Amino acid sequence: MRQQNQSKKKVSLFITCLVDNFFPQVGESMVKVLRKLGVEVDFPVDQTCCGQPAFNSGFQHDAKALAKRFLSIFQDDNCYVVCPSGSCTTMVKIFYRELLKEESRGLELADRLASRTYEFSAFLTNVLHVEDVGASYSGKVTYHDSCHLLRELRIRDEPRKLIKSVKGIDFVEMNLHDACCGFGGTFSIMFPGVSISMLEEKIISIVESGADTIVSTDMGCLMHIEGAMSRRKIPVKVMHIAELLASEL
């Protein structure tokens, strides 16, 4: 486990709406892992939604207002911004530029923020250069690629390196690991039939893998998957990667 010079790193946690309201243990696990690695962690208490639901629903004016608020809260250029979601990270790193493209000052701030904003697994592997955080977990684990993390941020190997480094894990790749689970935020509300059909394929892949635990980087996907599996009494545990990496620390 590599920890040298990590005390110089400072992180502001960017906690998503789902984690804040329903899965606080994910944020707590992030803090546990980052502090274990010697990182100074801050939580800006004034933060709110990044604006993604409004942006995806076509309410660009409302999304822009939230983007500007986010920029004012996370303005410290000496801090990395780390988020437990590929989806919300994508909003900040990529779509803020689109929202603010006609405002030179806003675009400059968005670019600076994007350069120091990371999804959690990418921050550990690409900034801290850590793959083994010292975690232990006994189980057969498979991994679900969330769409924004894989297709927008191009992050595929980073979470797998972290998972495979956890002591005691039997990692298995499932079929359709990179297929959408059908959540997509408002997509699952606007197109429930298509969403359920996509979820069916994902659950079949999970069950056929033989894994007893499914790990991902986005609680939206995991909430969607867990809801269906619990109703069918499928005994597969769902974990955010931060929870897995905080195991036995």
- The string of pLDDT tens digits covering residues 10-41 is 999 999 999 999 999 999 999 999 999 999 99
Q: What is the pLDDT of residue 164?
A: 97
Q: Which of 160, 206, 159, 153 is nearest to 179 (CA)?
A: 206
Cβ contacts of 184 within 8 Å, gap of 6 or more: 147, 195
Q: What is the pLDDT of residue 187?
A: 85
What value does the mean pLDDT of the chain take?
94
In the predicted structure, residue 4 carries a pLDDT above the cut 50: no
Is residue 240 left, alpha or beta, with left meaning phi > 0 and alpha meaning psi from -120 to 50?
beta
In the predicted structure, residue 3 carries a pLDDT above the cut 60: no
What is the C-alpha separation between 99 and 110, in angstroms, rounded? 10
Q: What is the pLDDT of residue 7?
A: 55
Report the DSSP beta bridge partners of residue 119: 83
Report the DSSP beta bridge partners of residue 82: 13, 118
pLDDT tens digits for range 121-174 = 999 999 999 999 999 999 999 999 999 999 999 999 999 999 999 999 999 999
| Confidence grade of residue 5 (pLDDT, cut at 50, 70, 90) | low
What is the C-alpha separation between 24 and 234, in angstroms, rounded? 24
- Phi/psi for 118 (5° steps) reads -140, 145
What is the C-alpha separation between 196 and 193, in angstroms, rounded? 5
Q: What is the pLDDT of residue 188?
A: 86
